[in-house]
């Protein structure tokens, strides 16, 4: 909202970081100065894009986390990166370290530039500074914190002792000429070369895509159960919280507690609360799904002991899935119990489809909607406050948007997988990648791996890659059933998949040890692997073992 001379108007900007907001205000000021009409301003502000940058978060040595931002090194992107670091540090209670090179292209005299930088990093709570470059070193006296300076990246690396870094959130930010990737390589933890890459921008894209299919007032519950469908719940939760998502949903109370400890403040629903988890629910203000009388009575009793009032719960209706939930015949008694106490209130009422992704079940889905609506109406009629209702999952949003009601529950779509055949413009979020360890040239007739299952029918080049069934690579993909992608080409998996390693046929592919291999991702969609294994993409995504390092990045 802004006022300028005679205008009073509103703008919406697609950012959350302080630095981007400040940039946007500059844009606004320029347009006002040039007397652009308010409608044009509103329209153009919506279309601003953030300063290009790529930040990667990686696990580092000695319990450190490394944020790598080597795209550019101006003051503005430094502020954005510091904000990003701050949000992470606050969540994890870690010490904040900045490794910073000389900053180019500011047009300011060095003393004023580094005075400004010193101000910013002090203000953003940096506790330790490592300055690299002749100019920043000359201005060392301006910085008032724990500090070290080196003239070049090489001189820093030459004296670097990994033991000097502990439990720190290290932001590495340097102009390209400084080759700070050498520093991040040294500080990164490398035990296992298989990684799951998660594109946080793709999550945002997918979230916005679904949002655009819904009425503006419809709320979205983002499903981050099962460790964010394998992608890591904290990073996703943080990203979605920043985008203004309304609710998160996890499977069990402990998952929710972890998110709260990490600084997630938005409402969190717990889908499968256990009787033993009420204290955890209450202490972290997690909102349980209530699916049975037993659970309803127990939570009221437990809440009463603690003197709680108006604690939000979500009433689950079984409209045809026949998993958990109250049935239509139970509603009268549910209302009786709810109206006879003040400990909990129904914040929402919801149900889940058994087959919303399949046309042949559309009649059944419609009957589910009818049953659910009758239950929800009954509950609402007997309540003094508004109760939100929701039934759509991802497939539901795509296929029955007219039943979006007050809220929807977005799961698999957020992770870039469409549950229906028609493409809908989703972006791939997760890519499972590894690297070639060794390549052997072998003659026709030789066998590969355990049980001598992989028999070579021609002279072949066989590569070993460090991923096996213990990483979540389904053993049924062995013996030619599955493949991976090397330098843009598909390579069949040869022989049985081992626990930590498997072998692939790269006879027709130009490649060498160290080359990247995609197990799934943009070039080999999870849907394709799921089909081969006669399962669903959900299982492929959630099977990636927790020992596989997750790497998050934003463009």
**Binds ligand PLP (CB under 6 A): choice among 121, 126, 344, 412:** 412
User: What's the min distance (Å) between Cβ of 427 and ligand PLP?
Assistant: 16
* Closest C-alpha to 472, from 540, 549, 521: 540
Alpha helices in 272-384 (DSSP H): 278-283, 293-305, 331-339, 362-381
Give the x-and-dash track for 214-253 against ligand PLP (CB under 6 A). ---------x------------------------------
User: What's the min distance (Å) between Cβ of 356 and ligand PLP?
Assistant: 8
**β-pairing, 95-101 with 128-132?**
parallel
User: What's the min distance (Å) between Cβ of 361 and ligand PLP?
Assistant: 14
From residue 412, give the alpha-carbon distance in Å to each of 27, 233, 415, 426, 536: 37, 14, 5, 11, 11
Q: Which residue number, 139 or 394, has a Cβ lying nearer to ligand PLP?
A: 394
Q: Which residue number, 97 or 394, has a Cβ lying nearer to ligand PLP?
A: 394
- 3-class SS at 286? coil
Q: Which residue number, 98 or 398, has a Cβ lying nearer to ligand PLP?
A: 398
394 touches ligand PLP by CB under 6 A: yes
Q: Which residue number, 94 or 271, has a Cβ lying nearer to ligand PLP?
A: 271
Instruction: Give the torsion sign (CA, 15, 21, 25, 26).
Output: negative
Candidates 137-145, 365-373, 409-417, 522-530: pick the segment binding ligand PLP (CB under 6 A). 409-417
Distance CA 444, CA 57 (A): 44
**Binds ligand PLP (CB under 6 A): choice among 50, 288, 303, 419:** 419
Q: Which residue number, 320 or 413, has a Cβ lying nearer to ligand PLP?
A: 413
# chain residues binding ligand PLP, by CB under 6 A:
12
211 touches ligand PLP by CB under 6 A: no
Q: Which residue number, 331 or 426, has a Cβ lying nearer to ligand PLP?
A: 426
Candidates 72-80, 99-107, 301-309, 406-414: pick the segment binding ligand PLP (CB under 6 A). 406-414
**β-pairing, 287-290 with 268-270?**
parallel
Contacting residues for 324 by C-beta, under 8 A, at least 6 apart: 272, 289, 291, 292, 316, 318
Q: Which residue number, 99 or 249, has a Cβ lying nearer to ligand PLP?
A: 249
Residue nearest to ligand PLP (CB): 411
End-to-end CA distance of the chain: 29
Contact 492, 480 (CB under 8 A): yes
Distance CA 136, CA 175 (A): 12
User: What's the min distance (Å) between Cβ of 303 and ligand PLP?
Assistant: 23
Q: CA-based Rg of the chain, rounded to a whole angstrom?
A: 27
388 touches ligand PLP by CB under 6 A: no
Site for ligand PLP in 41-80 (CB under 6 A): none
**Binds ligand PLP (CB under 6 A): choice among 211, 389, 399, 409:** 409
Q: Which residues are catalytic?
A: 225, 450
206 touches ligand PLP by CB under 6 A: no
Distance CA 399, CA 408 (A): 13
Site for ligand PLP in 344-373 (CB under 6 A): 352
* Closest C-alpha to 164, from 181, 180, 146, 177: 146
* Residue 168, H or E segment: strand 168-173
Candidates 302-310, 338-346, 403-411, 491-499: pick the segment binding ligand PLP (CB under 6 A). 403-411
User: What's the min distance (Å) between Cβ of 236 and ligand PLP?
Assistant: 13
Distance CA 181, CA 169 (A): 16
Site for ligand PLP in 257-316 (CB under 6 A): 271
411 touches ligand PLP by CB under 6 A: yes
428 touches ligand PLP by CB under 6 A: no
Contacting residues for 394 by C-beta, under 8 A, at least 6 apart: 210, 410, 411, 412, 413, 414, 418, 419
Q: Which residue number, 196 or 271, has a Cβ lying nearer to ligand PLP?
A: 271
- 3-class SS at 248? strand
Give the interface with ligand PLP as residue ranges (CB under 6 A).
223, 271, 352, 393-395, 409-413, 419
């Amino acid at each position: 909202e802004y006022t300028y001379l005679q205008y009073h108007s509103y703008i919406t900007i697609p950012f959350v970081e302080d630095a981007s907001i400040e940039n946007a205000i500059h844009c606004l000021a320029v347009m006002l100065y040039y007397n652009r009409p308010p409608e044009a301003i509103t329209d153009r502000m919506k279309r601003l894009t953030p300063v290009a940058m790529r930040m990667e978060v990686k696990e580092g040595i000695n319990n450190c986390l490394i944020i790598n931002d080597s795209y550019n090194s101006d003051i503005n992107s430094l502020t954005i990166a510091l904000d990003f670091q701050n949000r992470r540090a606050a969540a994890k209670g870690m010490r904040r370290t900045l490794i910073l090179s000389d900053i180019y292209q500011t047009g300011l005299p060095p003393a004023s530039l580094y005075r400004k930088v010193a101000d910013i990093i002090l203000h953003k709570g940096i506790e330790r500074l490592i300055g690299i470059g002749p100019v920043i070193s000359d201005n060392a006296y301006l910085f008032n914190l724990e500090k070290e300076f080196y003239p070049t990246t090489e001189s820093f690396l030459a004296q670097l002792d990994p033991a000097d870094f502990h439990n720190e959130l290290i932001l590495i930010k340097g102009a390209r000429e400084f080759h700070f990737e050498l520093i991040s390589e040294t500080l990164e933890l490398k035990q296992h070369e298989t990684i799951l890459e998660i594109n946080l921008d793709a999550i945002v894209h997918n979230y916005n895509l679904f949002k655009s299919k819904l009425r503006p007032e419809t709320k979205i519950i983002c499903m981050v159960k099962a460790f964010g469908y394998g992608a890591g719940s904290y990073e996703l939760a943080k990203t979605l919280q920043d985008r203004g998502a309304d609710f998160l949903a996890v499977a069990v109370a402990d998952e929710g507690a972890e998110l709260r400890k990490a600084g997630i403040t938005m409402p969190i629903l717990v889908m499968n609360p256990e009787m033993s988890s009420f204290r955890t629910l209450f202490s972290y203000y997690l909102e349980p799904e209530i699916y049975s009388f037993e659970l309803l009575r127990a939570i009221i009793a437990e809440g009463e002991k603690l003197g709680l009032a108006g604690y939000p719960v979500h009433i689950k209706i079984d409209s045809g899935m026949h998993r958990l939930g109250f049935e239509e015949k139970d509603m009268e008694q549910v209302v009786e119990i709810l109206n006879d106490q003040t400990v909990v209130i129904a914040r929402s009422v919801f149900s889940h489809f058994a087959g919303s992704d399949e046309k042949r079940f559309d009649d059944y889905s419609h009957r589910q909607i009818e049953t659910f609506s009758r239950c929800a109406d009954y509950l609402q009629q007997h309540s003094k406050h508004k109760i939100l209702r929701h039934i759509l999952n991802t497939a539901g949003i795509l296929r029955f948007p007219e039943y979006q009601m007050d809220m929807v529950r977005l799961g698999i779509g957020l992770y870039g997988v469409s549950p229906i055949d028609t493409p809908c413009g989703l972006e791939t979020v997760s890519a499972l990648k590894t690297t070639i360890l060794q390549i052997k040239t072998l003659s026709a007739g030789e066998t590969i791996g355990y049980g001598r299952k992989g028999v070579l029918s021609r002279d072949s080049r066989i590569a070993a890659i460090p991923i096996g069934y213990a990483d979540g690579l389904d053993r049924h993909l062995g013996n030619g059933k599955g493949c991976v992608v090397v330098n843009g080409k598909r390579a069949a998996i040869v022989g049985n998949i081992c626990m930590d390693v498997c072998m692939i046929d790269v006879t027709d592919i130009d490649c060498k040890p160290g080359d990247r291999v995609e197990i799934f991702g943009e070039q080999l969609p999870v849907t394709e692997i799921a089909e081969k294994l006669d399962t669903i993409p959900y299982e492929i995504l959630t099977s990636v073992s927790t020992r596989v390092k997750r790497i998050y990045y934003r463009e």
